[in-house]
Structure 1
Amino acid sequence: MTAPGAPDPRTPAPAAAPQPGTATAKPPGAAPGTALGGITPGVAWRRSRGALICLGILLVGAVVLAALGSGSRHGRLDPRSADPDGSRAVAELLQARGVTTRVVTTAREAAAAAGPGTTLLVTDPDRLGETQRRDIRSAIDLSGGRTVLLAPGVVSLPDLAPAARTKGDALDENLDPGCALPAAVAAGRATTGGGHRYAGGATGTACYPSGGHPTLLVLPSGTPGGDTVLLGSETLLLNKQLASEGNASLALQLLGSRPDLVWYLPSLTEVQDEDPAQEKGLLELVPRGWGWALLQLFTAAALAALWRARRLGPLVTEKLPVAVRASETTEGRARLYRKAGARDRAATVLRTAARERLAALVGVPPGQAHEPAALVPAVSARLTDRQQDLTALLFGSTPTTDAALVALADHLDALEREVRTS
């Protein structure tokens, strides 16, 4: 009988799966210790090198960005920072004039340090939560010193300077004093524009007007000798702008009128701890610029993956360079079925091939070879022992063991021999 799984001897067909424990020979030329179909280190490297290269590019980019971002220990308007956006220059000039600068990061520390002989500088009033604004307002009312608010807006003005309100932004950066305030007169033209303008405060002194509204407003506080300075722009305190115009003179006079300067840098942690409503999401905490950098890295990785990806096209048949015997093909397919435990697939192939050959022997049309109503009676008529359950044999369930699969192949072989000889 021709091996099951082939319509005729010229076509390869899978042999019955071997019994468990039956030894099988490795294909000629297989490397020692390498299973059939195994992946060698060279193949694994060729398949994964594209992903590894992309991962390496991402890691290198992350390290470079981290190195670039770690050059400065302090942030914007920090008196300890020598970066262009830091304020170390003005702090050193104040120190040379005998003014002591103390950096604090909480509103409670700032309020506790404020007094008649201190100047309290709040670098970002709009970042403060409700609790922090109350502490700073208490220091303004009770300390008797000077409080300088850098670019306060609609968020902080109602609590810290209720007599004033914002009137839009100043378009011009360098402005003339336009007032009789001694500090402004001595400094002359300064970079106070580019930020907020203010209105209100009939008892205060308005300087450096832009479009009819001041960018520097000095308001008296509730305690004699104290005052509050609203500075619409923080630019003049930055290292990169301190030497321009009369910025240095104005900064020294505004911040150096008392022997002690309390430099309050509001921290994001303080605001979140005191005011849960101010909490921000993870993406909002990512430093500016990192989002674009990560987007560029992921875009580069995606383009590299598309460039190096395997192009999958339609299957193409090609002739083998050597002739392979049908028995070898059958044995190879049987080993694959056994390795995968595919008894259902093997049984289906065996029964399908047997039905097609039996249909040709008993005269059943090929289109009805897989119909029990047409094939079973025709085959049964050619048998001497008609008690055999041909339906279960030709169209039955999947064998549950390898032994049952081998038995199925034997029964199909015996059935075909009997039909041929009848």
Structure 2
Amino acid sequence: MTTTAPPPATAEPADPAGAAPATAPGRPGPSPRTRWRRSRWWLLSALVVLLAAGLVATIPGGSAYYPLDPRAGDPRGTRAADQLLGRYGISSRTASGPAELAAALRADDTTVVLTYPDELAYQDLAELAANHRGARSRLVLIAPEQPLLNAFAPGVTSSSYPTGSFSALSPDCTLPEAVNAGAATVGGQSYDGRPGDTACYPAGSRTTLLSRTRGDQQVVVLGSGDLLTNQALDHDGNAALALGLLGAHPNLVWQTLDRSAAPRTTDENRDITDYVPDGWYWGALQLLVAGLLAAAWRGRRLGPVLTERLPAVVRASETTEGRARLYRRANARGHAAETLRRAARRRTATALGLPHTSREPDPAVLTEAAAARLGRPAADLQLLLYGPAPTDDAALLRLAHDLDDMEWQVRQP
């Protein structure tokens, strides 16, 4: 028998060179969610740049001077007080080394302010104390400790603890500078002097400003230099008190510290933050922000749960054999026996019509009902369904056969 072959397929004619391409149907533009996914990394990068710029802009510039320095314009400096004194014709200068301070103490008509008197070495302190003081001179000690008091104001004792209060205090004394100034925020250390000393601004039983005059030389002990700073000069009578204490003579000398020598901190006021450089706080903050951004960038983003078809269908017998091999390899006879008994108990309870749902049926009810159905002693069924674990593979195999036989007999009418 002959068959007719189908005609050969003919190729589609090629489009001529000048033919216009087929027009694709118009598609809608990207959705807002798609736009967000495309542009979110650019937006995040811009946010990171802005945040870094803000951190850099807010980093405070380190001051070139220490607190109480007349050249410092920051809140802890004393430039405002120095310029105010200059308007009243007071000529001021600074002195840092022992030699400069000694020359200032010998000068006439001069006020010397020791802003950091406790920074002086003991040898320098002894030499300065033994130095001849100039005529019509005043020495102002800012929060001195007991060694400084013993050198420049013998008999004046310092409190072991500061007052802890910088509220406005009344002068309660006859010192002209304090009377003219009125209430001021002195605070700081408190002192107790000898008879004849003028004590002002009492804080409890002690005072925060003490003056001692011997001839035309005067020593003023001030509990704190905060009232001289730029941030506190306009509070209460601080400006008037600063003018009175520092402007008594036409010449003013401020003790200053070199940047190479950091001021010491007393043990009672020392904190662990004193050992941390200022720039480390901002560096740690920037590292923290960078770490959070990196965590947000590299963090796992979980999408919606997706279902997928298994690549292959596995028969139940194969999974049963695989689990049995695992039990045998681990010598888990007890676990395997309990698994067989649990399944047999549930199937037997179902065959007997006993309620058990997802929980175990009652052992006494199950064994009594099975014994009544099989005509066997309940003790035998109790041992079979709830007995000890088998000791070897042969005992496990016998247990499996006995459970199968028991289930088959229970299902028989």
- Relative to structure 1, is the Cα distance of residues 211 and 172 closer, same or farther in structure 2, using a 3 angstrom cutoff? farther
Partner of 1:142, secondary structure, is coil
Q: 1:92 matched to which residue of 2?
A: 83
Residue 228 (structure 1) aligns with: 219
- For 1:202, give the aligned amino acid: P
Structure-2 residue corresponding to 1:218: 211
Provide the rounded CA distance (Å) in 2 between the counterparts of 1:266 and 1:160.
20
Between the aligned partners of 2:96 and 2:56, the Cα distance in structure 1 is 29
In structure 1, the partner of 2:288 is 299
Name 2:141's counterpart in structure 1: 149
Q: 2:96 is matched by which residue type in structure 1? A: T
Contact 1:90 1:242 in 2 (8 A): yes
The match for 1:200 among 181, 193, 200 is 193
Aligned equivalent of 1:116, options 108, 111, 119 = 108
The letter of the residue matching 1:296 is L
State yes or no: 1:180 paired with 2:171.
Answer: no
Secondary structure of the residue that 1:191 maps to in structure 2? coil
Structure-2-length-normalised TM-score:
0.52
Q: Give SS of 1:269's match.
A: coil
CA distance in 2, matches of 1:271, 1:293: 21
Q: Does the Cα contact within 8 Å between 1:123 and 1:265 map onto a contact in 2? A: yes
What amino acid does structure 1 have at the position aligned with 2:156? A
Distance across 2 between alignment mates of 1:133 and 1:249: 30
Counterpart of 1:69 in 2: which secondary structure? coil
CA drift at 1:252: 1.0
Paired letter, 1:176: S
1:262-288 deviations in whole A, cap 9, x for unaligned? 01113353579xxxxxxxxxx957544
Cα separation, 2, equivalents of 1:62 and 1:286: 20
Partners of 1:299 and 1:129 lie apart in 2 by: 42
- Secondary structure, aligned partner of 2:260: helix
- Alignment partners' CA distance in 2, 1:108 and 1:175: 37
Match of 2:153 in 1: 161
TM-align CA RMSD: 4.3
2:355 corresponds in structure 1 to none
Greater RCO, CA 8 A, separation 6+: 1
What amino acid sits opposite 1:226 in the alignment? Q
Asked whether the equivalents of residues 193 and 210 of structure 2 are also in contact (C-alpha less than 8 Å), the reply is no
CA offset digits 1:158-182 (Å, max 9, x no partner) = 4443422222323352111111111
Letter in 1 for 2:115: T
SS in 2 for 1:175: coil
Measured in 2, the distance between the counterparts of 1:150 and 1:159 equals 14
Shift of 1:98: 1.4
User: TM-score with structure 1 length normalisation?
Assistant: 0.51
Report if aligned partners of 2:78, 2:228 keep a CA contact under 8 Å in 1. Answer: yes
Q: SS state of the match for residue 158, structure 2?
A: strand
**Equivalent-residue separation in structure 2 for 1:69 and 1:215 (angstroms):** 34
Bigger Cα Rg: 2
Change (3 A) 1:284 1:210: closer
- What SS does the corresponding residue of 1:196 show, helix, strand or coil? coil
Aligned to 1:269: 260
Residues 238-264 of structure 1: CA distance to partner in whole angstroms, max 9, x if unpaired? 122222222222111111111100011
- d(CA) in 1 for partners of 2:260, 2:207: 33
| Seq. identity, % | 36
Q: Deviations over 1:60-119 (max 9, x none)?
A: 6885465x215x544422222333322222212211221100012223212212223111
Q: Measure, in 2, the Cα distance between the counterparts of 1:57 and 1:65.
A: 12
Q: Is this contact kept in 2: 1:94–1:252, CA < 8 A? A: yes
**Distance in 1, Cα, partners of 2:66 & 2:185:** 21
> Any idea what the Cα deviations from partners look like across 1:139-171, whole Å, max 9, x if unmatched?
5x5334211011123464344434222223233
Question: 2: distance between equivalents of 1:160 and 1:287?
Answer: 34
Q: Distance in 2 between matches of 1:137 and 1:287?
A: 35
Mind listing any 5+ residue stretches in structure 2 that lack a counterpart? 1-44, 264-272, 301-413
Aligned to 1:107: 98
The verdict on how the C-alpha distance between 1:135 and 1:255 changes in structure 2, with shifts beyond 3 A counting, is farther
Which of the numbers 233, 249, 257 marks the counterpart of 1:258? Answer: 249
Give, in whole Å, the separation in 2 of the partners of 1:241 and 1:154.
26
1:80 aligns with 2:107: no
| 1:14-39 superposed Cα distances (whole Å, 9 cap, x missing partner) | xxxxxxxxxxxxxxxxxxxxxxxxxx
* Whole-angstrom distance in 2 between the partners of 1:250 and 1:240: 15
- The letter of the residue matching 1:227 is Q
> Distance in 1 between the 2:98 and 2:261 partners?
9
Distance 1:152 1:126 in 2: 6
- Aligned partner letter, 1:83: D
Structure 1 match to 2:19: none
Aligned to 2:11: none
Does the C-alpha gap of structure 1 residues 239 and 110 become closer, same or farther in structure 2, counting only changes over 3 Å?
A: same
- The answer on 1:241 being equivalent to 2:232 is yes
> Does the C-alpha gap of structure 1 residues 245 and 58 become closer, same or farther in structure 2, counting only changes over 3 Å?
closer
Residues 271 and 112 from structure 1, CA distance in 2 versus in 1: closer, same or farther, beyond 3 angstroms?
farther
Match of 1:127 among 94, 119, 142: 119
Give the SS at the match of 1:146. strand
Measure how far apart 1:187 and its partner are.
1.5
Cα distance in structure 1, aligned partners of 2:239 and 2:138: 19
